[in-house]
A = this chain, B = another copy of it.
Amino acid sequence: MSAEGPAPLARLVAELARLPGIGQRTAQRLAFYILRAPDEETAALATAIHEVKEKVGLCERCFNLSEGPLCRICSDPGRDQATICVLEEPADVISLERTHEYRGLYHVLGGALSPIDGVDAEDLKIAELGQRVDDGGIEEVVLATNPTTTGEATALYVAELLRGKVRVTRLASGLPIGADLEHADEVTLGKALAGRLSLD
């Protein structure tokens, strides 16, 4: 017995501590919880870990997460087939879907351009997006990369690539709903001012 308890417990603590944002103490707390939890619950967790790796891949058209060759959004004839929303990561699809405001298709780039980190256009699914537009039937591409330096650079790059082929739009920047002006940073406030809408 090491100071960390029986070997299987120490191993579980070590594995949990590899997860992002989980420190040694949290890992120990979780390990003790798992040790005491009902067998069904922990078996379900272990199975869910296995299955997510086995069953979830990327959609071959939009590179969103998918259980089959095409994701459920690409396979859904009820979606607006003429609009593509361009995102950095699969997690962003979940955020967009939660709004229930978007009914078009997606295209997940798999990151943002960042030459300093060695991420160039060939490392992202940008050519594949160009191909989808070239294949025809697309009326609008909504650029929804993050409002960060790399996300903006990526949006500009993609917009340039698609110029003249299709209508290209960008998500609005501005004050988050519920925020107050006093605490808004000056860049966000400047964007909100520049993008002000008429209420007529």
Contact = CB atoms under 8 A, between A and B. Distances in A.
Interface string A5-40: 111110110111011111000101111111100010
Interface in A64-79: 65-67, 71-73, 76
A183 to B, nearest CB: 21
A55 interface: yes
Interface stretch (A45-53, A119-127, A141-149, A165-173): A45-53
B1 A52 contact: no
A93 interface: yes
Given A16-B45, A45-B15, A65 B5 contact: yes
Given A1-B73, A91-B28, A34 B46 contact: no
A151 interface: no
Interface size class of A (residues with CB under 8 A): 35 or more
A100 B3 CA distance: 9
Q: How many identical subunits does the complex contain?
A: 2
Nearest to A100: B3
Nearest to A44: B15
A55 B3 contact: no
Contact of A11 (B18, B20, B39, B51): B51
A144 to B, nearest CB: 16
Given A15-B48, A35-B56, 18 more contacts: A1-B72, A3-B94, A3-B98, A5-B90, A5-B94, A6-B55, A6-B56, A6-B65, A6-B67, A8-B55, A8-B56, A11-B51, A12-B52, A19-B30, A21-B26, A22-B30, A28-B94, A46-B50
Interface of A: 1, 3-9, 11-12, 14-16, 18-22, 26, 28-35, 39, 41-56, 65-67, 71-73, 76, 89-91, 93-94, 97-98, 100
The 9 closest A-B pairs by CB, nearest first: A1-B72, A12-B48, A46-B46, A3-B97, A15-B45, A8-B51, A15-B48, A46-B49, A12-B52
